[in-house]
Amino acid sequence: MLFISFAFIQLTGAQQSQLMIKGSGKDLHLDHTVSPKEGLFSIGRMYHVHPKAIAAYNKLEMTKGLSVGQVIHIPLTDTNFSQKDDNGKPIFYNVGEKETLEKVSAANNKVSVQKLRAWNKLAHDDQAAGKKLIIGFLVTNESPIAATPTSEKKETVVKDTIATELTANPKTEQDKPGIKEEDKKDNEKKADKSKVAKAKNADAKDPNGKENVVPEKPIIKEELKKAESKKAETNSTRLQVIGDVTGQGYFKSSFDQQVKITPLSKVETVTSGIFRMTNGPREGKYYMLMDGVPSGTIIKIINPDNNKTIYAKVLGEMSGIRQNQGLNIRISNAAASTLDINDTDKFIVKINY
């Protein structure tokens, strides 16, 4: 937390003036003046964007350092720029001659005119040239929009609750579930009959003078074993249902929450390979490797041959590994199995994020 706070303070200190948007349409960016000891990685942390994305946007080489005073462009993407709500550091636009709010909206990714009025507390749409208007917000690591989706947190809490139930201290035989009230009464009657038979034989003696006692049958213990087995099956089923309620993966609900924050913007057909993980398809947790996308992002993956769909979480990147040449992504063996993909070398899938 201390490191994140330091990065945010750096952003505030390094950029004393208001953040002014540059470019138009989909080519929106900020200008950053390099300070001493700054590099692509530290700047990337400031603006919540991958350093490789900054390097590619400015046509820079990752291996070369930056010069003090150098001005580089910071791309505004789905990961660090929001025009849906007001969480983050405001980004401003300089109004031009005879520009109405409709024209400002068109020049800035068609941001809602209603939001422009609300964010800037405007009484009318005509604005004077040179006026600075908030047109969006820079999302940082401290912004609520960058937090872990609440649905995934809820799933974790539910699983922890069930795990606690499974490991709790065992109950007494009288408290254990699974035996119906009628069965309990039958067991009590059988026990009473056994006691009566024992009493009747109390006076009967064998040739050696010993009592003839009728042994009791372990009826209740057998019923309790059946109840315990039934309870274990129920708990196992509950855990499986929590893991994957849709058949498309554990991360489906996280993807839905992610889309609410950052609408879908990319649909690509890519070449994929497979990497092995220990978890199986029944657990419903699918993972992938992909360059240029932050770890933790949920990607929708479709097999075009049968239209089967899963949702996978990005674990990391693929660059720098010779075995990944010719591949755009790799998906886990569990993901490939659920998509009914039999080719273990290369295959084509569609991705949406």
pLDDT tens, position by position, 306-324: 999 999 999 988 887 888 8
* All residues at 6 or more sequence positions from 269 whose CB lies less than 8 Å from its CB, including other chains: 304, 348, 349, 350
Structure confidence at residue 322 (pLDDT): 80
Q: pLDDT averaged over the chain?
A: 76
Domain boundaries, the chain: 2-145, 153-243, 252-352
CA within 13 Å, CB half, 305:
9
Structure confidence at residue 282 (pLDDT): 59
Structure confidence at residue 344 (pLDDT): 73
> Which backbone phi and psi does 317 adopt, to 5 degrees?
-105, 170
Helices (H) and strands (E) in the chain, counts: 10, 13
**Distance between terminal CA atoms of the chain?**
28
DSSP code at position 298: E
Its CATH class, for the domain covering 252-352, is mainly beta
Q: How many CB atoms lie within 10 A of CB 128?
A: 8
Give Cα separations from 259 to 144, 149, 151, 266 (angstroms).
Answer: 15, 11, 13, 12
Structure confidence at residue 325 (pLDDT): 83
Structure confidence at residue 307 (pLDDT): 92
